Amino acid sequence: MKSLPSEIKLIFLIALLLVILLAAFTIFVVLMYNRKQLLYFKEQQLKEAEYQNQLLQKELEKQKSIEQERERISHDMHDDLGAGISALKLQAEFLKQKADNDDLQNDIDELLKTSEEMNLSMREMLWSLNSGNDTLGSFIDYAIQYTANFLKRTKIEFWSESEDIIAETPISTELRRNMFLCLKESLNNAYKHSQSSQLKLSFTQKDKEFVMRVSDNGIGVNSEKPEGNGLRNMKRRMQEQNGECHILSEGSGTEVVFRILL
């Protein structure tokens, strides 16, 4: 076989070289394009992160402003409304000492009772407004204190227990308020209808699940009787917080269970 002329070999080598250069150029262009795309995406991610940080900063500033406003309202209520209620109560007690008429004394007693109820309601509002109470431990302490005060003038024996509670667990003001209103309703039901001599308030926490139980040793609940407004309100409040409310009554006694994911 005759060897190819040198001119053809040269042309072949030049063509091969051009193909190699074209392939290298193509690879270079693709790499540069990918690099620019990567830089563009990173730049977009940085802009998005900066935008999200700005939104977060604005939200934090908004929350701080709300908390400051809550604190201001709380202080104003304590200083103005609280002082007014205390002055009203003192004045009523002074008038009662001077009153000779039994009917007038009874009316003053009703006034004193109303002022005490107003004072208690104001304390509840102050507690709910205080952002420093937005923890699970604070809620449990207040719930136990409220229940003890509620039952101290009754013949119902009260005790409480807590299990695996992480006191620093944060909870929202709305959840804290709704849980407390559910507790008040369950205590009112137990006092008015259960005919019980003992009441137990228990709290348990497992991971993010929190459970509050109000148990009594009374006559139980008639399952054939339609639900009252109080029970419906408790269930509605818990559902609005993505939680549950169940009434357990087998034989004697009733247990109201409130279950929520923190």
pLDDT one-digit tens code per residue, 214-262: 999 998 877 667 677 888 899 999 999 999 999 988 767 899 999 999 8
Assign 9 to helix, strand or coil.
helix
As a whole number, mean pLDDT of residues 98-117 equals: 79
As a whole number, mean pLDDT of residues 26-37 equals: 88
What is d(CA 89, CA 110) in angstroms, rounded to the nearest whole number? Answer: 11
Q: Which tokens hold the place of 203?
A: 């709290």
Burial class (CB in 10 A: 0-12, 13-18, 19+), 202: middle
Instruction: Write phi, then psi, for 238 (nearest 5 degrees).
Output: -70, -40
Q: Please indicate whether residue 116 or residue 154 has the higher confidence score (pLDDT).
A: 154
- The model's pLDDT over 52-104, given as tens digits with 9 standing for 90+, comes to 888 888 888 887 777 777 677 766 666 666 677 777 777 777 777 777 777 77
- In percent, the amount of the chain with pLDDT more than 90 equals 34
pLDDT of residue 1: 45
Q: Going by C-beta distance under 8 Å and a sequence separation of 6 or more, which residues neighbour residue 245?
A: 182, 231, 234, 235, 237, 238, 239, 256, 257, 258, 259
pLDDT of residue 180: 93
What is d(CA 63, CA 248) in angstroms, rounded to the nearest whole number? Answer: 39
Assign 101 to helix, strand or coil.
coil
Given the candidates 3.30.565.10, 3.50.50.60, 3.30.300.130, 3.40.50.10490, the CATH classification of the domain at 134-262 is 3.30.565.10
| pLDDT band, residue 179 (cuts 50/70/90) | very high
User: Which of 179, 172, 189 is closest to 228 using CA atoms?
Assistant: 189
Q: What mean pLDDT is reported for the chain? A: 85
Assign 245 to helix, strand or coil.
strand
pLDDT of residue 135: 92
What is d(CA 191, CA 185) in angstroms, rounded to the nearest whole number? Answer: 10
Assign 74 to helix, strand or coil.
helix
Q: What is the pTM of this model?
A: 0.63
